[in-house]
């Protein structure tokens, strides 16, 4: 099951995982606290193109010889809840699963060439860890600016060698949650101040019943 992150409290929780099952904007500055509980994860796999997929941002930063500095661990739950670009449906899903453990995965890395690491937040469901929203935030003036969202579940996003990769498992009628009919994977790259689609692949899976085997792409 994908990671659960603690809610606001002292000390960050580090999470990372990838659910075996299904789990993607104008410029908006979102100021967040850089202290308190932080959800942190490696963000294993991305799932899904977004119902609302948009990304705009400031002009790209000038190239720097030094790598982006590590971002301070943020309160990812507060970051998403305070973001007006996040849908009401996703905010309703963002509630503790157990005690104060929230269903979020967080990844830090260089996606936009800024002076600090960017943050990718995936919001999941508690029961089956389905991704319901994926977001990217870029550090700006001591806060974080929303630069990407994907909200068509099941969706999951990750950082892959400097690119943003968003994946979506797809279902036909009567497909069980454990056995999707296919998957689309979209790779985005930060270009001229926004994320631009660079690659798209799609796999159709064999749904032969009773094989007990993992889905295999059809030729």
pLDDT of 20: 37
- 36-66: pLDDT as tens digits: 333 444 333 333 333 334 444 444 444 444 5
Split at pLDDT 50, 70, 90, the class of 71 is: low
- 78-124: pLDDT as tens digits: 999 999 999 999 998 899 999 889 999 999 999 999 999 999 999 99
Higher pLDDT, 24 or 155: 155
Q: Tell whether the model's pLDDT for residue 76 goes beyond 90.
A: yes
pLDDT of 99: 87
Split at pLDDT 50, 70, 90, the class of 172 is: confident
Neighbours of 137 (CB within 10 A): 27
pLDDT of 33: 32
Residue 10 buriedness (CB in 10 A; 0-12 / 13-18 / 19+) = exposed
| Spans of all domains in the chain | 5-204
Which residue is listed with tokens 């809610």? 7
pLDDT of 80: 97
Higher pLDDT, 68 or 144: 144
Lowest average pLDDT, out of 5-14, 97-106, 145-154, 181-190, goes to 5-14
Q: What share of the chain has pLDDT > 90, as a percent?
A: 45
Q: Tell whether the model's pLDDT for residue 127 goes beyond 50.
A: yes
Quote the CA–CA distance of 134 and 105 in Å, as a whole number: 9
Higher pLDDT, 141 or 197: 197
Quote the CA–CA distance of 190 and 25 in Å, as a whole number: 14
Most confident range, picked from 155-164, 166-175, 208-217: 155-164
Q: How far, CA to CA in Å, does 181 sit from each of 103, 151, 178?
A: 25, 20, 10
Q: What is the 3-state secondary structure (H, E, C) of 101-142?
A: EECEEEEEECCCCCCECEEEEEEECCCCCCEEEEEEEEEECC
Q: Tell whether the model's pLDDT for residue 187 goes beyond 90.
A: yes
Q: Are 108 and 117 in contact (CB under 8 A)?
A: yes
């Amino acid at each position: 099951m994908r990671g659960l992150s603690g809610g606001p409290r002292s000390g960050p929780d580090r999470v990372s995982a990838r659910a075996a099952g299904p789990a993607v904007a104008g410029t908006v500055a979102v100021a967040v606290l850089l202290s308190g509980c932080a959800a942190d994860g490696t963000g294993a796999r991305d799932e899904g193109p977004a119902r609302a997929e948009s990304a705009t941002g400031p002009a790209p930063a000038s190239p720097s010889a030094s790598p982006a500095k590590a971002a301070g661990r943020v309160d990812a739950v507060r970051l998403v809840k305070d973001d007006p670009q996040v849908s009401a449906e996703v905010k309703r899903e963002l509630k503790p699963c157990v005690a104060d453990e929230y269903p979020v995965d967080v990844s830090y890395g260089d996606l936009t060439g800024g002076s600090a690491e960017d943050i990718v937040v995936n919001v999941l469901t508690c029961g089956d860890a389905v991704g319901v929203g994926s977001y990217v935030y870029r550090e700006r003036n001591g806060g974080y600016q929303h630069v990407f969202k994907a909200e068509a579940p099941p969706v999951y996003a990750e950082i892959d060698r400097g690119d943003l990769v968003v994946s979506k498992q797809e279902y036909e009628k009567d497909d069980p949650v454990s056995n999707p009919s296919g998957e689309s994977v979209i790779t985005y790259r930060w270009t001229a101040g926004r994320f631009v689609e660079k690659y798209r692949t799609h796999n159709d899976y064999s749904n032969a019943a009773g094989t007990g085997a993992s889905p295999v792409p059809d030729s």
